Amino acid sequence: MFDISWTEFLLIGVVALVVIGPKELPGVMRSLGQWTRKLRSMAADFQNQFQEAMREAEMADLKKQVDDIAADIKGYDPLKDVRADVESIGKDVQQSLDSAVQPMALEQKPETTPALPDAGTLAPVAIAPEPAAAAAEPAPEPTAAAAEPASTERSG
């Protein structure tokens, strides 16, 4: 804090001893110590009050930030944009349907259904067996009786 060395303190002490005198020097030193103690306590109180004011200001800022965040959370709707998009798409679809229905109503043409072809004009369709079903059934194997030629019985 102060850049005073021990030699300077010694010089100040010698001057005080000569000027004040050895008889009154202890009383002056005591009162000087009391004043120093009072100055230090006042400086510490001021510093503590200043730090307390800074903490209160920081707390007020933090409280304001927390209140702002809480208000934002209460008003936050994560589906707001999606809901607005869906509503606009719904309005567009409704408008396109309304615009498509109005010209049809103005024309007032009876609805006609396409005629089906006569049954005689249709070609018959052959149903083929499924390949999987044909592969599943094994072909008949020749039996021993079928393999031998028919023999004639001799009686005899």
What are the pLDDT digits (tens) for 115-154?
555 555 555 556 656 555 555 555 556 555 555 555 555 5
User: Which pair of tokens denotes residue 102?
Assistant: 């109005």
User: Which pair of tokens denotes residue 55?
Assistant: 């903490």
DSSP secondary structure of 13-46 = HHHHHHHH-TTTHHHHHHHHHHHHHHHHHHHHHH
∠ CA 39-42-47 to the nearest 5 degrees? Answer: 125
Q: CA 96: distance to chain centroid?
A: 36
**Per-residue confidence band for 73, with pLDDT thresholds at 50, 70 and 90:** confident
Q: What is the rounded distance in angstroms from the CA atom of residue 133 to the CA atom of residue 76?
A: 64
pLDDT in tens, 44-66: 999 999 999 999 999 999 999 99
Under a CB-based contact definition with an 8 Å cutoff, are residues 28 and 16 in contact?
Answer: yes
This prediction has a pTM of 0.37
Q: What is the rounded distance in angstroms from the CA atom of residue 87 to the CA atom of residue 95?
A: 12
Place of tokens 């930030």: 65
Chain mean pLDDT for the chain: 78
Give the CA-trace dihedral at 45, 47, 53, 55, to 10 degrees.
-120
